[in-house]
Amino acid sequence: MKIATYNVNGINARLPVLLQWLEQAKPAVVCLQELKAPQEKFPLEAIREAGYEAIWHGQKSWNGVAILTPHIPAEETRRGLAGDPDDSQSRYIEARVNGILIRCLYLPNGNPAPGPKFDYKLRWFERLKTHAAQLIKQNIPAVLAGDFNVIPTELDVYKPERWLEDALFRPETRQAYQQLLAQGWTDSLRKFHPQQPIYTFWDYFRNAYGRNAGLRIDHLLVSPALAGRLSEAAVDHQVRGWEKSSDHAPTWIRLADG
DNA sequence: ATGGCCATGAAGCATGGA
């Protein structure tokens, strides 16, 4: 069972690339972030023609998340991250697929830091940790998949010294991520590739992809109940080189049958 | 050290992204 996450940076602008990748990769679950489309502008018909169904939470201009599954829509269990009823940003959707809880998330960027946007990021992170801890406690098979906007370590950025003050790499951000992992979550990419630089994002400037000047910020964390089933984890980095691509690449894991 | 690019919304350019 292949579970993927992909920050599309505009689902309508990205539709040809997304459909091409779906056809090649054939994932069983896809978490999408940054739809950048209101609820009614989600391109459901095109996605259906590609053999997928979707649940999604749109928003005008920014944010927006979705979960795609072949043939049958995922069984939605929640939309909107718990812990703040005043948070109106579409950054979280959750569903149960084949007995696995899929949490699709788009953590706030947080720049400029320090400042109110960084405060929002850290608060959002706290809510996520609280919510995630409940799954660990109950030993629920779950995957946290999405754009975390976290560079976990120096291995995950082409030039760490340039990112020290950035909201993606600041100590508070890295610490929050480590605290999340300490609950028992497995960072899937690092389980299989503990030492090599791996990136999931390359900005549009200065030929960043051509120079491999990237960041690893899209993550798939699996709960202890699933860790033993992890069989593969990778980034479809070639997609970043396609015409009209997102600045992120699809990232995925494979789970053995449970 | 800086700016470079891309998408959206709206009809210029401002804003957000990371």
Distance in angstroms (rounded) separating the CA atoms of residues A155 and A59: 34
Distance, angstroms, CA A188 to C1' B15? Answer: 34
CATH of the domain at A39: 3.60.10.10
The catalytic site residues of A sit at 106, 147
Query: What is the domain extent for residue A188?
Result: 2-255
With b for 16 or more beta-carbon neighbours within 10 A and e for fewer, the A177-192 pattern comes to beebeebbbbbbbbee
Structurally, chain A folds into a number of domains equal to 1
Q: Say whether the CB atom of A10 is under 7 angstroms from strand B.
A: yes
What are A65's strand-pairing partners?
Answer: A33, A57
- Which residue is closest, via its CA, to the C1' of B17? A109
pTM: 0.97
Give strand letter and number of the nucleotide nearest A162 (CA to C1'): B1
Q: Under 8 Å CB-to-CB from A137, ≥6 apart: which residues? A: none
pLDDT tens readout for residues A197-228: 999 999 999 899 999 999 999 999 999 999 99
Per the rule left: phi > 0, alpha: psi between -120 and 50, beta: everything else, A56 is beta
- Which residue is closest, via its CA, to the C1' of B4? A205
What distances in angstroms separate CA A237 from CA A2, A130, A198, A253, one per listed residue?
A: 16, 32, 9, 14
- Which residue is closest, via its CA, to the C1' of B7? A10
pLDDT tens readout for residues A145-157: 999 999 999 999 9
Distance, angstroms, CA A23 to C1' B16? Answer: 31
- The vertex-A80 CA angle with A51 and A31, nearest 5°, equals 30
Amino acid A258: pLDDT? 79
Residue A234, φ and ψ in degrees, nearest 5: -160, 170
What is the average pLDDT score of chain A?
A: 97
